[in-house]
Amino acid sequence: MNRDFIYLLIGNSRLHWAESSKDKYKFTHTSLSHWYEKDLKNKNLVWASVGTHPNIKLNQKREIRTKDIKCIKIPTHFGVDRTLSCFCALKTITNPNQKNFLIADFGTTLSITKMDYKGLVLGGELIPGFTTQLKSMVQNTKLLNYPATIRIPNNNFLKDTKQAMIKGVYNSLSGVVNLLFNPIDDILILCGGDSEFIGKLMKEKENSIIIKPNLAIEGLILFSKNHLNIH
């Protein structure tokens, strides 16, 4: 019997895939319009959706929803991506001091979720993400143009307009995370598409930060194995 599964997390702006083969996983991220034909026909496709997916037939018995993940005490209106990230953090990250988990998902939106060591979600904040902020400035300001290259400057005070835009957005995102993060009480986990390049600079100042870009889809894999009898 074929036990190689394909996992799909439908986001707001991208599709997140994980393909398994002999307990190893390959993660890829594609545009919303880029559907792999083999995946749609594969009976071993397991999926979850926070965004709107095209009018295609997906096996409803293989869909994971927020309400299915009962070990996480989270409002049912919270996105399944946040719930899967919480599940993965709770089940995989060592927490001997019983700290809170502070999960910052750097995607289209920066979603920040605080959860205690028992899996009770205390709440969070939502902030426009890196690309969303840059696009908003370009769309709403006549003389600003989108940077061709994204590289976070070291300095805070910049004369180049595009560099000033990039550093301003970085500071707004890292600043709110730092404001909410208490190293004494919290374990900080950064995830999502922009977590690596934003987290790299943040980690220079706080090396205890955990960066796991694929936390949500890893949660989808882990939950599926435990609850859909997938091995």
Q: Which two tokens stand for residue 231?
A: 């091995």
Domains of the chain: 6-64 (no CATH), 96-216 (3.30.420.40)
Average pLDDT over the chain, rounded to whole?
90
The band of 24, judged by pLDDT with boundaries at 50, 70 and 90, is confident
* 33-55 pLDDT, tens digit each: 776 555 555 668 899 998 766 66
Residue-wise burial string across 167-193, b where 16 or more C-beta atoms lie within 10 A, e elsewhere = bebbeebbeebeeebeeeebbbbbbbb
* 105-144 pLDDT, tens digit each: 999 999 999 999 999 999 999 999 999 999 999 999 999 9
Neighbouring residues of 95: CB distance < 8 A, sequence distance ≥ 6: 101, 117, 187
* Cut 0.85: pTM above it: yes
Q: Which of 3-12, 58-67, 187-196 has the lowest mean pLDDT?
A: 3-12
